Amino acid sequence: MVSLQIGGNHFCGGALIREDFVLTAAHCAVSRQFTVVLGIDTLRGNEQTRQEFRVIRSIPHPNYNDLTNDIMLLKLSGRAQLTEAVQVIPLKTGRLSRCITAGWGDIGDNSTLANRLQEVNVTILTRSECQRRWRGVAIATSMVCGVGARSFQGFCSGDSGGPLVCDGATAGVVSFSGRRCGDPRTPDVYTHIPSFRQWINSVLNNN
């Protein structure tokens, strides 16, 4: 689990998919220099497991727009040292089951970031069911939708770019939700990683 920070302040999440590459959402791209922090559980602690890197290259998907292809790779200034607290997560293939999402995002839908890493179980919806609930928003095949175990439980501001983890592999990237966080009437939408395997592998192989 990765925290993207500007000036020590968390603004997006991400996942380490190679020692020198992080997967996140393209809408997390910022023009200012930002850092990648690994191996932490709390944002305001000074844990010995912490590792910090600069981002030397941001590679958003070439066809990214506000809603679709919301995926980006970040090349780090060095290679993370793999430890008990810092691990590379594999990319998911096949059917999605037993899913969770995690992050330090807003916990009360009131601009209050969590200090400790939060985690919620996610139930995956069919695309047709997600489309039915999201009236007026096209849910593409490159998206996957989920809801929390209870109403108003899901991701929120500050969780963007974080992983949807299914069966121990990363299957999605936190992309967008409705006006109220965790509202089952507007399910959480993730970028569907298996739809982008070819692009991800191409970037990794050429960097």
On whether the CB atoms of residues 61 and 199 are closer than 8 A, the answer is yes
Contacts of 187 (CB under 8 A, 6+ apart): 125, 130, 133, 134, 145, 146, 147, 154, 177
Active site residues: 27, 70, 160
- What burial class does residue 157 get, using C-beta atoms within 10 Å of its C-beta: 0-12 exposed, 13-18 middle, 19+ buried? middle
Residue 144: CB atoms within 10 A of its CB come to 29
